[in-house]
Amino acid sequence: MHLTFYVASAIAVLSTIMVITRYNLIHALLYLVVSFLAISIVFFVLGAPFVAALEIIVYAGAIVVLIIFVIMMLNLKAEAVEQEREWLTRKIFIGPALLSVVLLAELAYMILQSRTTDFNAPMLDAKAVGLSLYGPYVIGVELSGILLMAGIVGAYHLGRQKKKVVHRFLESTEE
Amino acid sequence: MKELLWLIPAWPLAGALILILGGHRMSRTLATLVGAGSVGLSALITLLIGFAFLSAPEPFDQHLWTWMAIGNFQPSFAFHLDALSMIFLFVITFVGFLIHIYSSEFMAGDEGFARFFAYLNLFVCSMLILVLADNLLLLYLGWEGVGLCSYLLIGFWYQEEKNGYAARKAFIVTRVGDTAMAIGLFILFQTFGTLHIQSLLQQAPQAWSVGDQTALLVGFLLLGGAVGKSAQLPLQTWLPDAMAGPSPVSALIHAATMVTAGVYLIARTHVIFELAPQAQLAVGIVGAVTLLLAGFSALTQNDLKRVLAYSTISQIGYMFLALGVGAWSAAIFHFMIHAFFKALLFLGAGAIILVLHHEHDMFKMGGLRHKLPVIYGTFLIGAASLAAIPLVTGGFYSKDQILWLAWAGERGNVLLYLAALFGAFITSVYTFRMVFVTFFGAEHSHVSHPVGKAMLTPLVVLAVLSTLAGFLELPHTLGHVTIFSDFLSPVLPAVNVRPDAESMELLFQVIAAVVALSGVGLAYYLYVLKPDLPSKIKEEIPGLHHLWFVGWGFDALYDTLLVRPFVYIAKVNKHDVLDKFYTGLVTVAEFFHRALAYTQSGMMRWYVMGIVIGAILMLTIGLIL
Amino acid sequence: METVPVESGLLLAGVLFMLGLISVLIRRNIIFMLISVEIMLNAAGLAFIVAGSRWAQADGQVMFIFILTMAAAEVSVGLALILQIYHQLKTLDGDMASKMKG
């Protein structure tokens, strides 16, 4: 189990690195799916089988598919990849990477500073989660429902195909 | 009946509001009806309440509402009616009503007809609040209200720059006194925890012994407020300039009512002054000095209204003198008589000035006695009263009482008496100088149009009042009538006459009568028999004449001492030094504003970068601590 | 079951979060930015699961489910916005959408 955890972690990190370095959106999404699958294994190892299943269904399934749908609707061609290559230079990595490494170092320091505790990952099955979800967290469930509703309404409203409205300012710059 | 008390100030207030809001759309008749009618209603109610008060003369309190409540400081909007405020009510509403009627003709041709009545009504309302207030804060409201109306009405013809200047001068000079008074009120509140007048008057003798330092301080501060409002030394300079306003205003505000607010204040708080003898003595000295200085200045003026203005200062000086010697009811009596005859004189002067095309210089008038017989007759009655012609005029009885008590009263003083006596002589000289120059001699200008009934009726009524009112209080030697002082005795204590002086009262009356008559005689000699003599005297003593003419140079003194340095400092400090600090703050704030505005570029990644940097900083700080 | 050190789980979450963060900072394509945000949310969820396991409580998983819900709502609205931006500006360049004034 120990080993499974580390292998899955390595796969997750590697595939995420691949995600952020791809020029092609579809390739990046495929790596993203791999990353999600690896994380789902990590969840399983940590004793959360229900969430592991949700990770696959919602993240690797629904969300990624949604993004792929949008990419299809936008009908991106080869020049999009070229564009991406043009944007994603080595130089641009330096600043953000530096900042992130500093942040990671600080996080790691804080995590490692605390007392090391090995723990036996207990199995918390769907029943336990469900009891907790519909017990003390029922208000959160209600709020999530409202949030999803808002998401649906918002997406519908924003996604409607309207007549193209180019702003005066932008129009004048394009001409 | 007494429950109607609140209506007395309410009517003029309503009139003022109606005229302010809708006056520009009203016809003149309607504006007159609202303006004069509201004060007329007040006068009517005053009359009704007066009868009720006479039959049951106990003080009456009317609590309308609590004005504000801050801790234990809870001044109420409440009125207190007693004999003192009753007399002031009568004078304010009746003289006010007569002057409103007069104004309806006097101001008939003016653009700001409704505006004039609005201000006038507001003034009457404020003055009524002043005299009815049952606590000093409400009194202060009325006090400032009349100050505001005075400012508005002096500058009524604001198109001319000098009128606006005169208005500002009046406002600022009285502000000095008002500030002193406000500080006095603070001290009173700190000491007693209340500003309710009746409680103050009850508590003061228990808290303070005679001559107490705090009482002295409060007395002087209240005196400061009183001299500001009543144009006494050293704050008298604004009143002669206040004649820039229309004549009815001069009559109502700057002669009959507002300028006597100081007298009212001191009479109202007389207990405090009795506890502070030095402050009371100061009141008397201020009055004596003022009446002399103003009298000399009045001798030299050419402007008819300025003569009357200086004479007003001088007569209020008499009232202060009376207050100073503890002759409270004599002061109030003189106030009432003075209100009648001075309003009469101002209204008469206004009528003359109006029909002579706004000619103010009395040496350009002359010989008006045949052309304007009614005005001549009433003016003569007023002047006789002012000069205290014996036996037949109200002024004689009121002034004689002051002269007598200045010498014979317990706190009386020979010097004060001599000053008052000499003042009486000067008064009769300048008064009849004015009469003879204006109405006798050769005609210098012609009368443009006759004076209407609306202006003449108030003159006649006031002439009757200024004569008859004198008989309300007659001295021991002549009839011994004490209606007035009996009426006031529950509020204001009677003055005790020194026992050794009692027998000499008749002598003093004769002296006063002789002095007044000799003053008239001198004026007759100088201005009728030998009209060339005055200018010769003038050439003999040009310096002194000029000094008197400019009111003893107080204006120049204040100009050099206060105005010029202030203007200089203002000029030097045009770009306020202290402002540098605040502009500095502004610059810094603007710098940060620009810097922050620059970060709002719309580039989403920079925002994320900002969040990351912020997170790093916070974590770092957290780790270090 | 074998033991898993809690630090390892948290470090994994941290590393994944960093990678997502770097991606957000370097990408100009808004779809990539959206994907990066998903990575970061997922990493945060992972941290919750690890903590939940450590204390043997179901709360961590409940939190993950909330995060999941939020991510779903966010991605649907975000994609709708992307569609609109693309229709309006004819580009996926996030920096082009910086003009709000006018």
> What tokens were used for B355?
């029909």
Among residues 584-623 of chain B, which lie with CB inside 8 Å of chain A? 609, 612-613, 615-616, 619-620, 623
Phi, psi dihedral angles at A161 (to 5 degrees): -80, 110
Evaluate whether B397 touches B475 at the Cβ level (below 8 Å).
yes
Mean pLDDT of B203-229: 87
Verify that B586 and B569 share a domain, yes or no.
Answer: no
Residue B108: which of B453, B459, B463, B462 has the closest Cα? B453
* Digit-coded pLDDT (tens) for C50-96: 888 888 888 899 999 999 999 999 999 999 888 888 887 777 887 77
**Which tokens belong to B125?**
């309302």
Mean pLDDT check: name the lowest of B346-360, B472-486, B559-573, C74-88: B472-486
Closest-CA residue of chain A to C58: A129
Assess whether B438 and B452 both reside in one domain. Answer: yes
Q: Confidence band (pLDDT; 50, 70, 90) for A148?
A: very high
Q: What is the pLDDT of residues B581-607, one digit of tens each?
A: 888 999 999 999 998 888 777 778 788
- If you classify domain A2-123 with CATH, what class do you get? mainly alpha
- Note the Cα B308 to chain centre separation in Å: 14
Instruction: Collapse the DSSP code of B267 into the 3-class scheme (helix H, G, I; strand E, B; otherwise coil) and give the result.
Output: helix
pLDDT in tens, B21-80: 887 788 888 888 888 899 999 999 999 998 888 888 888 888 888 888 888 888 888 898
Residue B176 forms part of a structural domain:
no
Q: Write out the DSSP string of C9-38.
A: HHHHHHHHHHHHHHHHHH--BHHHHHHHHH
Q: Kindly report the number of other CB atoms within 10 A of residue B414's CB atom.
A: 9
Sign of the Cα torsion B539, B541, B543, B545 reads negative
Whether B285 is in a domain gets the answer no
Check whether residue B397 and residue B533 sit in a common domain. yes
Distance, in Å, from the CA atom of B273 to the CA atom of B211, rounded to the nearest integer, reads 10
| Contact (CB, 8 A) for B370 and B336 | no
Q: Are residues B533 and B419 in the same domain?
A: yes
CA atoms within 13 A on the CB side of A113: 7
Overall average pLDDT of the B290-299 stretch:
87
**Residue A166: predicted pLDDT:** 58
- CA dist B72 and B196 (Å) reads 12
Residues B394 and B519 in one domain: yes
Q: Which residues of B touch C33 (CB under 8 A)?
A: 604
B403 lies in the same domain as B419:
yes
Rounded distance, CA C53 to CA C70, Å? 22
Q: Are residues B493 and B530 in the same domain?
A: yes
Distance spanning both ends of chain C, measured CA to CA: 63
Q: Is the pLDDT reported for residue B180 higher than 70?
A: yes
pLDDT classification of C102: cutoffs 50, 70, 90: very low
- Let me know whether B589 and B536 are in one domain: no
| Contact criterion met (CB below 8 Å) for B430 and B311 | yes
B482 shares its domain with B583: no
Residue with tokens 């180019």: A166
CB count within 10 Å of CB B182 equals 17
Chain B interface includes A82 (CB < 8 A): no
Q: Which residue has the tokens 């007040």?
A: B42
Whether omega before B246 lies within 30 degrees of 0, making that bond cis, reads no
Answer whether residue C44 shows pLDDT above 90: yes
pLDDT at res. B35? 87
Percent of chain A at pLDDT exceeding 90: 33
Please say if the pLDDT value at position B318 is more than 80: yes
Q: Containing domain of residue B417, as a range?
A: 327-540
State phi, psi for B445 to the nearest 5 degrees: -150, 160
Positive or negative torsion for Cα C18, C24, C27, C29: positive
User: Token digits for B65?
Assistant: 């509402």
Task: Please give the Cα distance from B95 to B458 (Å, whole number).
Answer: 9
Residues of B in contact with C32 (CB under 8 A): none
Q: Is the pLDDT of residue A5 over 60?
A: yes
pLDDT band of B182, cuts 50, 70, 90:
very high
Banded pLDDT at B515 (limits 50, 70, 90) = confident
pTM above 0.80, yes or no: no
Element (H, E) at B469: none
Q: List chains touching B (3+ CB pairs under 8 A).
A: A, C
Average pLDDT over residues A84-92: 80
Which of A142-146, B280-284, B375-379 has maximum average pLDDT?
A: A142-146
Residue C29 phi/psi, 5° resolution?
-75, 125
For residue B194, CA distances in Å to B59, B73, B203, B491, C28 come to: 20, 7, 10, 20, 74
Together in a domain, B389 and B366: yes
What pLDDT score was predicted for residue A57?
A: 93
In a mutational test of the B interface, the residue from A102, A109, A169 whose CB has the highest number of chain B CBs within 10 Å is A102
Per-residue pLDDT, A143? 93
Of C4, C39, C61, the CB nearest to A19: C39
> CA nearest B121: which of B98, B139, B154, B96?
B96
Q: Report pLDDT for A174.
A: 44
B78 forms bridges with which residues in the sheet?
B63
**Residues 16..45 of A with a Cβ closer than 8 Å to C: which?**
16-17, 19-20, 25, 28-29, 32, 35-36, 39, 42-43, 45
Cβ-proximal residues to B41 (8 Å cutoff; 6+ apart), any chain: B7, B11
Number of domains comprising chain B: 3
Residue B88 has pLDDT above 50, yes or no: yes
Share of chain B above pLDDT 70, in %: 100
Q: Which structure tokens are listed for B359?
A: 């000619």
Query: Is B480 found in the same domain as B443?
Result: yes
Question: What is d(CA C16, CA A64) in angstroms, rounded to the nearest whole number?
Answer: 18
Tell me the three state secondary structure of residue A125: coil
- B38-47, B351-360, C18-27, range with the lowest pLDDT: B351-360
Residue C5 backbone dihedrals phi, psi, to 5 degrees: -65, 135
Measured N-to-C along each axis, helices B394-408 and B505-524 cross at an angle, to the nearest 10 degrees, of: 130
pLDDT over 60 (residue B292): yes
**Could you tell me how far CA B338 lies from the centroid of its own chain?**
12
Q: How many CB atoms lie within 10 A of CB C93?
A: 15
Cβ neighbours of residue A116 closer than 8 Å, sequence gap 6 or more: C5, C7
C44 shares contact with chain B (CB less than 8 Å): no
Task: Say whether B609 and A109 touch across the interface (CB within 8 A).
Answer: no
* C45 pLDDT above the threshold of 90: yes
Q: Give me chain B's average pLDDT, please.
A: 85
Angle, vertex CA A61, rays to CA A57 and CA A66, nearest 5: 135
Using CB atoms and an 8 Å cut-off, which of residues 62-101 of chain C contact chain B? Answer: 94-95, 97-100
Q: What's the CA gap between B55 and B536, in Å, rounded?
A: 60
A161 pLDDT higher than 80: no
Give the closest of B601, B602, B609 to C25, CB-based: B609
Spell out which residues of chain B touch residue A100, defining contact as CB-CB under 8 Å.
Answer: 612
User: What pLDDT shows up at residue B406?
Assistant: 83
Contacts of residue B573, defined as CB under 8 A and 6 or more positions apart, other chains included, come to none
Tokens 């007023």 correspond to B382
CA angle, residues B382, B384, B390, in degrees to nearest 5: 135
Share of chain B above pLDDT 90, in %: 9
Beta carbons of B239 and B254 less than 8 angstroms apart: yes
Q: Tell me which residue of B14, B89, B101, B88 sits closest to B45, measured CA to CA.
A: B89
Question: Is the same domain home to B460 and B337?
Answer: yes
CA B218 to each of CA A81, B133, B190, B267: distance values in angstroms, whole numbers, following the listed order: 91, 19, 11, 14
User: pLDDT at residue B197 above 70?
Assistant: yes
pLDDT at residue B26, as a whole number: 81
Most confident range, picked from A75-79, B381-385, B404-408: B381-385
Helix axes C59-89, C30-54, angle to 10 degrees: 180
Could you tell me the end-to-end alpha-carbon distance of chain A, in angstroms, rounded to an integer?
63
Higher pLDDT, B603 or B247: B247
Q: If you ran DSSP here, which 8-state letter would residue B502 be given? A: G
- Nearest-CA distance B615 → chain A (Å): 8
* CA dist., res. B170 & res. B147, Å (int): 9
pLDDT at A146 over 50: yes
Neighbours of C52 (CB within 10 A): 25
The span from the first CA to the last CA of chain B, in angstroms, equals 79
CB-CB neighbours of B537 under 10 Å: 12
Which of the residue ranges A51-65, B146-160, B476-490 would you say has the lowest mean pLDDT?
B476-490
Residue B509 lies in a domain: yes
pLDDT of residue B593: 92
A vs B, Cβ pairs < 8 A, gives 21
How far apart CA B130 and CA B123 sit, in angstroms, is 10
Residue C47 binned pLDDT confidence (cut-offs 50, 70, 90): very high
